[in-house]
Amino acid sequence: MPPAIELFHVAKSYPLYRSLSAGFKHFLLHLPRSLQDLRAPRHLALRDITLSIAPGEAVGFIGGNGAGKSTLLGLMAGVLSPTTGRITVRGRVCPLLELGAGFHFELTGRDNILLNGVLLGLTRTEIQARLEAIVAYAELEAFIDQPIRTYSSGMLARLGFAVAAHLDPEILLVDETLAVGDARFQKKCQATMAAFRQAGVTLVLVSHNMDDVRAVCSRAIWLDRGQVRLDGDPTTVIDAYLQETSHAPAGP
Ligand SMILES: Nc1ncnc2c1ncn2[C@@H]1O[C@H](COP(=O)(O)OP(=O)(O)OP(=O)(O)O)[C@@H](O)[C@H]1O
Ligand SMILES: [Mg+2]
């Protein structure tokens, strides 16, 4: 079977924005130079990543803040495009990216479920048929007709995961958001991900919670400043990562 996800020499850079600290007049007076300054510096969030994920694999990405994990997931979800390199994804992707991504804050929970379902390719009837199950899973019955701007971050995470979990994903991408759910909901998500794994769904999980990665994943990949530092079984990779962070000096 061909890989579910393939990255071939993928790099992603973002422009670095300079503030107009010297003032707008200075900016205009030195226009050619200023424009060059604005354009030139770029931050390489991912450098030369080549990896493939087989169908049914459950892969956890770990690494420090800013290592490039969310960028990588954004590329897999197709919401970002690589600066160089190639990425191929085979199968129906259900992304669960940053908190509230893909949601409209003025709409109610119910309308957001409908909207997301349509965006992910289901018909209105198909979504209607699952609506009650989604609401019950999220345990948001009492709030489902409120605009989601009134939701707490944990409630948003519940809604997001409930939607993604009920749309027959072949590939489920989960970024961090689960961390804001309460302990009971986190357990529920873990159980759902384990069931997906049993069913052969490809899982990609980004997490700072090593217990989640251990519980859910068959493989872990440590990203370090935009590069793959270690790729292997979760125990080995997590141990190496924790070993290094325990020696690192505490932050500023
Ligand atoms: N939209 C953007 N514009 C500019 N730079 C960005 C953007 N998104 C991310 N970056 C930069 O890319 C790098 C990688 O960011 P990313 O969000 O992928 O890290 P991460 O591993 O998910 O970190 P965290 O653990 O904090 O979530 C960071 O240096 C960040 O500043
Ligand atoms: Mg992130």
* DSSP classification of residue 41: -
How many H-runs (helices) and E-runs (strands) does the chain carry?
Answer: 9, 9
> Quick check: is 61 in a domain?
yes
Cα–Cα distance for residue pair 64/252, rounded to 1 Å: 15
How many whole angstroms separate alpha carbon 119 and alpha carbon 102? Answer: 9
Query: Contact, 82 vs 75, CB < 8 A?
Result: yes
Q: Is 106 left (phi over 0), alpha (psi -120 to 50) or beta?
A: alpha
By alpha-carbon position, which residue is closest to atom 25 of ligand 1? 65
Model-level pTM greater than 0.75?
A: yes
Give me the CATH number covering residue 67.
Answer: 3.40.50.300
Say if 18 falls within a structural domain.
Answer: no
Within a domain: 44: no
**Residue 2 lies inside a defined structural domain of this protein:** no
Residue 71 Cβ contacting ligand 1 at under 6 Å: yes
Q: What is the pLDDT of residue 65?
A: 94
In degrees and rounded to multiples of 5, residue 178 shows phi and psi of -65, -25
Is 218 contained in some domain? yes
| Count of structural domains, the chain | 1
Question: Among the atoms of ligand 1, which is closest to the Cα of residue 15?
Answer: 4
Cβ–Cβ under 8 Å, residues 198 and 122: no
Ligand number nearest CA of 45 is 1
Taking the mean position of all CA atoms in its chain, how far away is CA 172? 10
Its domain, for residue 140, covers 55-247
| CB of residue 221 inside a 6 A radius of ligand 1 | no
pLDDT tens, per residue, the chain with 252 residues: 899 999 999 999 998 766 556 677 777 787 777 666 666 667 899 999 999 999 999 999 999 999 999 999 999 999 899 999 999 999 989 888 877 777 899 999 999 999 988 888 889 999 999 999 999 999 999 999 999 999 999 999 999 999 988 988 899 999 987 778 898 998 899 899 999 999 999 999 999 999 989 999 999 999 999 999 999 999 999 999 999 988 777 656
CB 14 less than 6 A from any atom of ligand 1: yes
